[in-house]
Each structure stands twice: as structure tokens, then as C-alpha cells.
Amino acid sequence: MKRLICLIAVFILFGSIGVALTDEPKVPEGVLPLTEAEIRKLFEGKTFEFVAYDEPLTGTTTWDRTKGTVSGTYVFDQEETGEFELKWFLKDGMSCIETGEEPQCQFIYLYEEGFMEVRPDGVVHAVSKPIN
């Protein structure tokens, strides 16, 4: 439970940090974010590994539309590790997770062989690549 609370705190921070921690990739120019139908198709039945650019966070995610959850593993600041499962939903063309406070929502763009999550303020949150 302590790990889940820490993870929730990490996700809450996503919206509050405006400076990238490393050289973040750029949002593709002239490309629209995916629609909700495209996001569902991209995520369903796949597991991804991700690297965050607005937090020192890496891990894996598996998105389950039927259960309305995202679950996986994480490594925060190269020290704390754990597993998580959070409520996940689509709203206003964005992928959102429920953290207990305000939902954290990002636009989804196709990027390389995976996807990029971009916060509403235009900062790249993370890049994910499929591992299955």
C-alpha cells in the first residue's frame, strides 16, 4: 500500500513540473494527437516500457479497456521500485489516470514504434515502446 501511495504522489507531480529532466523528444510537428478510438486500438492487449521526461521515472504499463485500468511496474529516481494499478479512462481526446486528486490526462501521439504522452501544457510526459 505504501508503494501505491508513493506512485500516486509521483503521478500527481506530473502536472506540476514544467521543466524536463532530460533531453526530451519533441512533439511531432503538424501531426494531430490520436483520437480516443485510435488510442484504444493502440493500447489494447499490449504491454509497453516507458521513459518519463518530466520525472525520474521508468517502467512498464499494460492498459485494460475492459477493466478500465492501467497496471505495471515502476522505478522512481533509480531507487524505489514497485507495482501499480490505477483507474484509466479516455476523456476529451486524452488518456487519463485517476490518482485520487485531479485526473492526470495526456494527449497521445504515435512516436517511433510506440507512442508519446504529452501534457496539456505541451510538455512531453513519456515515450512508450511495445514489448510484446
Residue 23 pLDDT class (50, 70, 90 cuts): confident
- List the grid coordinates of 105: 490526462
Instruction: Look at strands 114-118 and 124-130 and give their pairing.
Output: antiparallel
Q: What is the CATH number of the domain that holds 124?
A: 2.40.128.50
Which amino acid makes up residue 14? F
Is this prediction's pTM over 0.85?
no
The count of structural domains within the chain is 1
Q: For 30-54, what is each residue's pLDDT tens digit? A: 999 999 999 999 998 899 999 999 9
Domain interval for residue 29: 2-130
Q: For 95-111, what is each residue's pLDDT tens digit? A: 999 988 889 999 999 99
CA distance 106 to 102: 13
Q: Count other C-beta atoms under 10 Å from residue 86's C-beta.
A: 20
Q: Of the candidates 48, 69, 52, which has an alpha carbon nearest to the alpha carbon of residue 60?
A: 48
User: What pLDDT does residue 24 have?
Assistant: 76
